[in-house]
Structure 1
Amino acid sequence: MSILNNALSGAVASQLALSASSQNIANLQTKGYTRQSALLSAVAPAAGSSQAGNGVRVTELMRFSDSYKTQQMWRSASDLGTHSQTQPYLTQLEKVMGDDTASLSSGVDGFFAALNSVAGVDPTSTPLRQQVVTAAGLLAQRFNSMNNVYNAQLQSVRQQRSALVDSANTTIASIASLNAQIANANATGSNPSALIDARDQAIDSLASQMGLEVSDQPDGTRNVSLKTGQSLVLGGVPGKLSVSGGAAQTFSLTFAGTKFELDTTRAGGQLGGLSVYEQDTLLPLQQGVAEMAQQIADKVNTQLQAGYAMDGSAGKPLFVYNPGSTSNMLQVADGYQTSDLAFSGDGKPGDTGNLQQLVAIKSQTITMAKIGTVLISDADTQLVGRLAVDSQQNKGALKTAQTMRDQAVADWQSTSGVNQDEEAVHLVEYQNMYQANMKVMSVANALFDATLQMMG
């Protein structure tokens, strides 16, 4: 009987719809879960038949997914990753370089203040001369401490990038594997929704590490490439990132036996953000401090060599500049004595002619590659000011990126997320549908029994 068949199909369809709603409710708090719904369609009657129809069937279990919103969420993850990883480094440098008790400016001021004290009292005073040597040592220590901060950050940035490469390779392999499973599920008629959710979560994670371009394929797979064009995943085939070169890191991507060199400053995401920070902020700051140390040392040493020590001998260099040194970039010459300070301009112990020239060095200029020509007294302030601008710009970009990410996630949730109230309504609707079809089946059985009795 067509009535019985219709009711049976309705009961089965409502059970499948209830199953989809129950799955949605079960995953109400599951991150990245995309809600599903049974898509019902009427079964048409056979050709030439006078029947109303042959019931209902579930055409497919539909995923509520918007490709544009998903892509927007991945792009916002990349932008957020670019700025979020660099801000802690910028904040640390701001605190260190802006600290009056540890800044280069206070060290420079202290050294020239010690020279002024000698000039204003007695150029032959051993305690005052000792203050100059001590202040020179403290100044050198300030430069070395700052250089150590830069080196520590460089090491941390490079270690973090290496860790990102290892993590990205694991994610890339996972995406390729899930692509293969999804293609197989689609080919065999299985429901791949859970696999698709897992893959999209993996892509979202990878997008925070580097900028991506993602394209959908007819078999349900997704191809993933860097925004610079190099393929990371094609169907079920993964690429592999690698880093080499020791301290001077170089990055490459190997795909299908071909190796491509990568410029990570263009990579986007966390990897790109760290590389841009190293290239545009950290290394220039370190270079600026090194240039400042070298030129101050050269000017002071040159002026001391133009004067005379306490015993009338030619002056000796006070500072030793060691380019490339990780711990002693600047230091006071070994064995330097207070009597070696060449304050006299004419060879007489009480003369201050050369000392006055030493004091005047603070008002002279030095040239730094990224800043230009500045007064020695202003050099550190210029470096700190440039750092502050970089930090403020990154903070602003980070705030914008976080807002965009939050909005993108909210937009995705509005389409793909589970709404508890909506699912509660569906449960009632499909329950009523099931009960109504069971009632139809009961009526059909009664009619069938009545028919049999009449025939008997």
Structure 2
Amino acid sequence: MSILNNALSGALASQLALSASSQNIANLQTKGYTRQSALLTAAAPSAGANQAGNGVRVSSLLRFSDNYKTQQLWRSNSEVGERSQTQPYMTQLEQVMADDQSNLSSGIDSFFAALNAVAGVDPTSTPLRQQVVTTGTLLAQRFNSLNNVYNAQMQSVRQQRSAVIDSANSAIATIASLNTQIANANASGTNASGLIDTRDQAIDSLAGQLALEVSDQPDGTRNVSLKSGQSLVLGGVAGTLSVGGGLDQTFSLEFAGTSFALDPTKAGGQLGGLSTYVTDTLKPLQQGVADIAKQVADKVNGQLAAGYAMDGTRGKPMFVYTPGNTSNMLQVADGFQTADLAFSGDGTAGDTGNLQKLVDIKNQTITVTGLGSVLISDADTQLVGKLAVQSQQNKTALTTAQSMRDQADADWQSTSGVNQDEEAVNLVEYQNMYQANMKVMSVANALFDATLAMMG
């Protein structure tokens, strides 16, 4: 009887719809889960004008997903990854370089104040001369301490970028593997929603590390490439990122037997943010501090060489500057004594001719990377000011990126997320549908029994 078949199809369809709602509710707090729903369609009637139809069928399980919103979610994650990785480094440098107990400005001021104190009292005073040597040593230590902070950050960035590459390779391999599983599931008619969710989570994780372009394919797979165009995943084929060692790391991508060199500053995400920080902030700052150290040492040493020490001999260098990423970039020369300070301009003890010129060095200009020509007394302040501007710009960009990520996530949730109230309504509706169809089956059974009784 068609009435019995119709009711049976309705009961079965409502069971599938209830199953979809129960799956949604079970995954109410599952990160990245995309809600599903049964798509019900009426079964067409058989031949004949008096046929109402053959019930209902579940034509498919819908997966509520908006590709545009998903793409926005990934793009916003790249921006957050790029900005969030650099801010801790900038904040640390701001704190160190602006601290009165460790910054260069205070050290330079103290050194030249000690020179000025000698000029104003007694150029032959051993305690005052000792204060010059002591403040010179402390100044060198400040340069070295700051340089060590730069070196430590550089080492941390190298380690972090290597970790990003390892994590990215894992995500790339996962995406390629899931592409294969999804294509096979679609070909066999199996529901691949769970696999798609897992793959999208892997793409989102990868997007935080690298800026991506993602394109959908007819078989359900997704191809993933860098913003610069190099492929990371094509169907089930995965590329491999690699990083070279050494102080200046090199990056490359191998895909299908071909190797491509990568510019990490253009990679976006965490890798791009870290690399841009090294190129645009850390290295220029370190070089700027090295410029100050070298030129201050050269000017002081040059002026000492033009004067006379306590014993009437020509002055000797006070500072030794060592280029490169060394922990002792600047230091007072071994064996340098207070008597070696060449304050006299004519060889007479007590003369301050050369000492006055040493004091005046503070007001001379030097050339600093990233700043150009600046006064020695202003060089460090301008470096700190430039860093503060870059840090504030990054904070602002990070706040904007996080807002965009939050908005993108809210948009995604509005389409793909599970709404508890909506699912509660669906449960009641599908339950009523099931009970109604069971009632129809009961009526059909009664009619069938009555018919049999009439036929004796």
TM above 0.5: yes
Structure 2 counterpart of 1:150: 150
Structure 1 counterpart of 2:183: 183
AA partner of residue 2 (structure 1) = S
Contact 2:3 2:441 in 1 (8 A): yes
* Residue 369 of structure 1: how far off its partner (Å): 2.5
* Residue 245 of structure 1: how far off its partner (Å): 3.3
| Pairing 1:418–2:418 present | yes
AA partner of residue 306 (structure 1) = A
Matches within 5 A, 1:379-390: 379-390=379-390
Structure 1 counterpart of 2:174: 174
Structure 1 counterpart of 2:41: 41
* Residue 385 of structure 1: how far off its partner (Å): 0.5
* Residue 452 of structure 1: how far off its partner (Å): 1.1
- Number of residue pairs matched? 456
Contact 2:10 2:434 in 1 (8 A): yes
Contact 2:307 2:347 in 1 (8 A): yes
| Pairing 1:18–2:46 present | no
* Residue 370 of structure 1: how far off its partner (Å): 1.2
Structure 1 counterpart of 2:378: 378
Structure 2 counterpart of 1:283: 283
Structure 1 counterpart of 2:409: 409
Structure 2 counterpart of 1:116: 116
Which SS does the other structure have where 1:127 is aligned? helix
| Pairing 1:455–2:455 present | yes
Cα deviation per residue 1:144-179 (whole Å; 9 max; x = unaligned)? 000000000000011000000000000110011111
Structure 2 counterpart of 1:231: 231
Cα deviation per residue 1:263-309 (whole Å; 9 max; x = unaligned)? 01000001100000000000000000000000000000000000000
Which SS does the other structure have where 1:40 is aligned? strand
* Residue 48 of structure 1: how far off its partner (Å): 3.3
Structure 2 counterpart of 1:64: 64
User: Partners of 1:418 and 1:333 in 2: how far apart?
Assistant: 71
Which SS does the other structure have where 1:180 is aligned? helix
User: Partners of 1:325 and 1:402 in 2: how far apart?
Assistant: 35
AA partner of residue 386 (structure 1) = K
AA partner of residue 118 (structure 2) = V
TM-score (norm 1): 0.99
User: Partners of 1:452 and 1:231 in 2: how far apart?
Assistant: 71
Cα deviation per residue 1:352-372 (whole Å; 9 max; x = unaligned)? 000000000000000113111
Which SS does the other structure have where 1:85 is aligned? helix
| Pairing 1:343–2:343 present | yes
Structure 1 counterpart of 2:318: 318
AA partner of residue 429 (structure 2) = E
User: Partners of 1:49 and 1:176 in 2: how far apart?
Assistant: 53
User: Partners of 2:263 and 2:90 in 1: how far apart?
Assistant: 22
Structure 2 counterpart of 1:219: 219
Distance 1:157 1:183, change over 3 A: same
Cα deviation per residue 1:38-77 (whole Å; 9 max; x = unaligned)? 0000000123352100000001000000000000000000
User: Partners of 2:453 and 2:383 in 1: how far apart?
Assistant: 102
Which SS does the other structure have where 1:310 is aligned? coil
Contact 2:147 2:325 in 1 (8 A): no
* Residue 451 of structure 1: how far off its partner (Å): 1.1
Structure 2 counterpart of 1:78: 78
Distance 1:154 1:325, change over 3 A: closer
Structure 1 counterpart of 2:399: 399
Distance 1:404 1:325, change over 3 A: closer
| Pairing 1:9–2:9 present | yes
* Gaps in structure 2 of 5+ consecutive residues: none
User: Partners of 1:260 and 1:4 in 2: how far apart?
Assistant: 66
Structure 1 counterpart of 2:302: 302
TM-score (norm 2): 0.99
Structure 2 counterpart of 1:363: 363
Same amino acid, percent of matched pairs: 80
Structure 2 counterpart of 1:427: 427
CA RMSD between the two structures: 0.6
AA partner of residue 320 (structure 1) = V
* Gaps in structure 1 of 5+ consecutive residues: none
AA partner of residue 85 (structure 2) = Q
User: Partners of 2:451 and 2:105 in 1: how far apart?
Assistant: 106
User: Partners of 2:87 and 2:361 in 1: how far apart?
Assistant: 36
User: Partners of 1:77 and 1:92 in 2: how far apart?
Assistant: 24
AA partner of residue 202 (structure 1) = A
User: Partners of 1:246 and 1:432 in 2: how far apart?
Assistant: 69
